[in-house]
Every structure is written in C-alpha cells, then in structure tokens.
Structure 1
C-alpha cells in the first residue's frame, strides 16, 4: 500500500458500460450469455450477472450515444471463462461475432466482442495456468 494513500482497495463494485438504448443493450448481452440480475428502466440501468459474484456489468443509458464505436479508444473488460475458444464458438452460433479469432495470452486464450456502442468485453481462460483459475482458488 502506498504511503500517500489512506484507504484500501477491497475489490470491484460494478463495471459501468454506457449504451444508447437500454432494451437493445440488454438484448445484446443476454444473447451473449449475460443473465440480468435486475433492471431499473426509470433510472436507465440494468445489472448483468458475472458468475456468482455480487458485482457485475452495469449498463447505463446514455441518450447521446449512437451505434458506433466512441471516438476514443475503448477500455477492455475481461471476464474469466472455462474455455475461451468454446465461448467464441458459442457466441458465433447465436450471432454475436467476436472481434477476432481467439488469441493466446500468458494464462490461456481470450476472445473479445464489442457491443453496438463499442464497449469491448473479453472472455479469457486460464488453460495455460490452471493454478490461477477461480476453480483452483475456491
């Protein structure tokens, strides 16, 4: 812990992703395998579950967004899956096209998808380093 910081980071709360249409965003992510934990249309938000963790991916309505990637580089959020190459096949089967073929990373494989607003989600596995996977830590 840095001497300059007087607080401790405990973990993630939610990852917020802006979407231009909440219904379309929820539909896209449900098709990609993200279950909805809750939805508050009056607040313009929907929380998508990620595994058994309480935090999730929070879609937040931004009426200013159009169907195109933003003019800035999009950050990437990577989520752990058991098999990224199988996830790529499953996504393609339901019409969610990965940005590229699964690619190797230090821990295993990763595949990335982008929603209609340019938010990028990566699905990554630990096939090369199974001792670091969630199952090994449980």
Structure 2
C-alpha cells in the first residue's frame, strides 16, 4: 500500500478485555446481564453477546493480571440499553455496584461499572434523543 492509499474501516470486530480469571469474569458478566456466546477454557477466552450483533466482548485471560481498581483515564466501552437508570438498579440488585450514580449525557443517561480487573463498561440510553438510538 502506498502512502497515498487508504483503507476502509468496515465496523467493529470483537472488543477484547483482559481478565485474570475466566470463570470469575464470566460469572461477573453473567450477573451484569451478558449472555455467553462461547467459552473456550483451554484458550483462556469467552465471548459475550452484545445485542443481536455478531461481534461481541471477548474476555481473554492475562495470567499475571490481578484485581485492580479502574484508573481514572482508562478507556471506556459504552453499550446502548433502553434505560440506563433501570440498568443501574438491576446491576445493584445483582451485586454489581456502579462506579457512580447514573449521570446525564447529551443523548440520555449513562451508568458505568468496572469489572474486578478495572475494565470499565458504560450502559447508556438515548432517552433524550430517541431518534439516534437503535430503538427509534
């Protein structure tokens, strides 16, 4: 490929999250409402479904990774939900405490959680701008 050529981004493949223990990670994400598409313990991976999309969240074991709190500047993966404030209550009922109370954003509300390894996921809705959401 020459310097003046480009490539086309077609969309997301999987998002990979490092975890220290596959069983513990799968349990955490199942409590958070994710379905497991597949789990391959010998390879140290499990794929979580995200809506009806083919790509998902791939949990990948990193042997030396221990529990940690999320660093302030850590990347965040936000996923669309119908109602973020309801999601926050469901997470709390499942024993998963949000990092903070749900907060308003330009399109609606968002709540963020961190897994035991510091990966931060946000659940966000489009209640203020439903025409931009998937359920419009």
Range class of TM-score, shorter chain: over 0.9
CA distance in 1, matches of 2:89, 2:72: 29
Between 99-108 and 67-76, report the one with greater CA deviation: 67-76
Matched, 1:87 2:68: no
Distance in 2 between the 1:72 and 1:100 partners?
13
Runs of 4+ in 1 over 2 A off after TM superposition: 69-73
After superposition, the CA RMSD in angstroms is: 1.5
Deviation at 1:74, TM superposition (A): 1.8
Q: 1:67 to 1:85 in 2, by over 3 A?
A: same
Structure 2 unmatched ranges of 5 or more = none
Give the aligned length.
Answer: 134
Aligned equivalents of 2:34 and 2:103: distance in 1? 22
The SS at the match of 1:86 is helix
TM-score, scaled to structure 2: 0.94
Residues 1:28 and 1:77: Cα distance change in structure 2 (over 3 Å) = same
Q: Secondary structure at the match of 1:111?
A: strand
Equivalent residue number for residue 50 of structure 1: 50
For residue 88 of structure 2, give the secondary structure of its aligned residue in structure 1: helix
The alignment status of 1:66 with 2:66, answered yes or no, reads: yes
Asked if residue 96 in structure 1 is aligned to residue 99 in structure 2, the reply is: no
- Contiguous gaps of at least 5 residues in structure 1: none
CA distance in 2, matches of 1:25, 1:71: 19
In the other structure, the counterpart of 1:34 is 34
Change (3 A) 1:7 1:24: same
2:77 partner SS? strand
Q: Report the TM-score, using the length of structure 1 for normalisation.
A: 0.93
State the Cα distance separating 1:129 from its structure 2 match: 0.3
